[in-house]
């Protein structure tokens, strides 16, 4: 059976500095979705990358006495290293400085220009260099600064190319209004509808004041506006220019996951570009919230950034992934707090999950020499834990399909707590002392091992390394290229006679 394709993207990150935990948040959510989709039998293409052009990068490189490409090469290596350590399962990494991307951007520009939707004119406007964004007078904040980053804007005047966004405004508005699933959550959708209703001006899509960018085809003193260049990255690796079949398979993208401040670019500007190209719009743009520290956005200029690499060194990638996915409700802002992180590690990972695994394997080893036995004559309690396992997998699927990721995490941990309670209720150490209870003991130990097998599959999108470790200790093949979500939907896959391994600690407790 051919697998349904699923194309998911993160934004491509600016290599203007090292990435912080806020960037890692975005990529971790995308990774959880990508892994879940693979588990449920999709052919996933998961893209992330780096957005390397623009005046800001050029200026930073100059200030450091290196060329832009020398500057970005080093930073992009650090992105890749972070994603490797965080176990991000991206299928490709697009760099906008790559020739494959230049070709696509120039072709997109050329096609729109040939249609008459890109024209030459004179631009006078207010530009925020750090955000690479043009603003109109009315959009500025109360101090006359950039409404996003609140830094001063510059008045620029130059010959430039314009993209006829105004021509597509109504069509994009209609698309947003008529397709509620196109832009989520709902709050973002209302913002964009209001934004378009205020009127869209044509967009300036070229600059002449610097040259670190992709040249306008046939007029090389202009470079293409960095957002026009960046958004087009989503078309580059799926065969837009060179593989029509592959392009048809993966486009329209199933999900562009982006931070809330760039929803405007991904729905309105990108929507207009795609319409001008005569290409379908992505199926969904999801605008997530920000990771904040004491209520303010984490940013380099505020000096409040948290380095994900150091957190991984200290607590492990899975602990960080768990915290981000569990603590922050997708679509809302969430607070990053070290004490809260440590509490989650201790309570949920070391205690609830770690103890369940440890106690289960310990008892199977101690009472049954590490072997699972045939079950028979189940009690109501035994039946209820089995029913709850199956119900958990079912509800989990519904939540994940609905992007309710933190709810899905909580649901699995509710089942983990239920399993721990089952141990307390059945008291296997007492059953082991009573020879008339041999079957009851076999039933409890089997149910626990089987529940852990299911838990391991359900947590793989969140904490992949922990999932593999649990299966390894249960001595079950832990190759997630083969394991499917359906393996978690059926209780009773483990065979009597199966031998489990010795327990090993999953998460050490952290002293506060
Ligand atoms: O915007 N919390 O790049 P970028 C949550 N190059 N998310 C955060 C965050 C925080 N504290 N800080 C940043 C760009 N992000 C463009 C994208 S796509 C064609 C071009 C998220 O490196 C932010 O919301 O500034 C955004 O989605 C992503 O990191 C990249 O930000």
Q: Using CA positions, which residue lies closest to atom 26 of ligand 1?
A: 259
Domain limits, the chain: 339-488
The atom of ligand 1 lying closest to the CA of 231 is 19
- The three-class DSSP label of residue 102 is helix
How many residues appear in the chain?
512
Tens digits of pLDDT across the chain (512 residues): 678 999 999 999 999 878 899 999 999 999 999 999 999 999 999 999 999 999 889 989 999 999 999 999 999 999 999 999 999 999 999 999 999 999 999 999 999 999 999 999 998 889 888 877 778 888 899 999 998 889 999 998 889 999 999 999 999 999 999 999 999 999 999 999 999 999 999 999 999 989 999 999 999 999 999 999 999 999 999 999 999 999 999 999 999 999 999 999 999 999 999 999 999 999 999 999 999 987 777 777 777 788 999 999 999 999 999 999 999 999 999 999 999 999 999 999 999 999 999 999 999 999 999 999 999 999 999 999 999 999 999 999 999 999 999 999 999 999 999 999 999 999 999 999 999 999 999 999 999 999 999 999 999 999 999 999 999 999 999 999 999 999 999 999 999 999 999 999 999 999 87
Residue with tokens 């509800």: 395
The DSSP 8-state label assigned to residue 152 in this structure reads B
Residue with tokens 């290293």: 81
CA–CA separation, 216 and 214 (whole Å) = 7
Kindly state if the Cβ of 291 falls inside 6 Å of ligand 1: yes
Give the distance (Å) from ligand 1 centre to CA of residue 417: 36
State pTM to two decimals: 0.94
CA–CA separation, 36 and 29 (whole Å) = 11
Instruction: Measure Cα distances from 232 to 24, 86, 224, 265, 402 in Å.
Output: 22, 26, 11, 11, 27
Fold of 339-488: Isoleucyl-tRNA Synthetase; Domain 1 (1.10.730)
User: Rounded to 10 degrees, what is the CA torsion of 479, 485, 490, 495?
Assistant: 0
The atom of ligand 1 lying closest to the CA of 266 is 19
Residue with tokens 């079912």: 394
Report residue 332: phi and psi, to 5°.
Answer: -110, 160
Kindly state if the Cβ of 319 falls inside 6 Å of ligand 1: no
Residue 273 CA, distance from chain mean position: 24
Kindly state if the Cβ of 315 falls inside 6 Å of ligand 1: no
CA–CA separation, 272 and 172 (whole Å) = 7
Q: Is the dihedral of CA 323, 326, 331, 336 positive or negative?
A: negative
């Amino acid at each position: 059976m051919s697998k349904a394709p699923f194309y998911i993207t993160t934004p491509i990150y600016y290599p203007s500095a090292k990435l912080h935990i806020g960037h890692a948040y975005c990529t971790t959510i995308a990774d959880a979705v990508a892994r879940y989709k693979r588990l449920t039998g999709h052919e996933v293409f998961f893209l992330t990358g780096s957005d390397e052009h623009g005046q800001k990068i050029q200026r930073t490189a100059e200030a450091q006495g290196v060329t832009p490409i020398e500057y970005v090469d080093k930073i992009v290596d650090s992105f890749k290293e972070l994603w490797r350590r965080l176990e991000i399962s991206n299928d490709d990494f697009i760099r906008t400085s790559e020739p494959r991307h230049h070709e696509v951007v120039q072709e997109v520009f050329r096609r729109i220009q040939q249609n008459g939707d890109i024209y030459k004119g004179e631009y006078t406007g207010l530009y925020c260099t750090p955000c690479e964004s043009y603003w109109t007078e009315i959009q500025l904040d109360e101090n006359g600064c950039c409404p996003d980053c609140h830094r001063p804007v510059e008045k620029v005047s130059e010959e430039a190319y314009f993209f006829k966004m105004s021509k597509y405004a109504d069509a994009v508005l209609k698309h947003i209004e008529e397709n509620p699933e196109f832009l989520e959550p709902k709050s973002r959708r209302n913002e964009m509808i209001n934004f378009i209703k205020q009127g869209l001006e044509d967009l300036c899509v070229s600059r002449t004041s610097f040259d670190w960018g992709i040249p306008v085809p046939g007029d090389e003193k202009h470079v293409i506006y960095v957002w026009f260049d960046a958004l087009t990255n989503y078309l580059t690796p799926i065969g837009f220019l060179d593989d029509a079949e592959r392009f048809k398979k993966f486009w329209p993208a199933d999900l562009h996951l982006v931070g809330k401040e760039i929803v405007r670019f991904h729905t309105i500007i990108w929507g207009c570009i795609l319409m001008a190209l005569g290409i379908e719009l992505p199926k969904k743009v999801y605008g997530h919230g920000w990771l904040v520290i004491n209520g303010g956005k984490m940013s380099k200029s505020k000096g409040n950034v948290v380095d994900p690499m150091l957190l991984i060194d200290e607590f492990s990638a899975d602990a960080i992934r768990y915290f981000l996915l569990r603590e922050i409700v997708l679509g809302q802002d969430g607070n990053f707090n070290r004490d809260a992180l440590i509490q989650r590690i201790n309570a949920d990972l070391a205690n609830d999950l770690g103890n369940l695994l440890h106690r289960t394997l310990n008892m199977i080893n101690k009472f049954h020499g590490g072997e699972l036995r045939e079950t028979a004559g189940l009690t109501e309690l035994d039946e209820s834990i089995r029913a709850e396992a199956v119900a958990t997998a079912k509800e989990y699927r519904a939540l994940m399909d609905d992007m309710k990721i933190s709810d899905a995490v909580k649901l699995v941990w509710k089942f983990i707590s239920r399993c721990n309670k089952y141990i307390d209720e059945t008291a296997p150490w007492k059953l082991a002392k009573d020879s008339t209870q041999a079957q009851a003991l076999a039933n409890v130990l089997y149910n626990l091992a089987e529940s852990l097998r299911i838990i391991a599959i359900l947590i793989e999108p969140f904490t992949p390394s922990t999932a593999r470790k649990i299966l390894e200790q249960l001595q079950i093949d832990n190759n997630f290229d083969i394991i499917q979500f359906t393996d978690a939907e059926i209780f009773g896959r483990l065979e009597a006679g199966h031998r489990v391994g010795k327990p090993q600690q999953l998460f050490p407790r952290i002293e506060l």
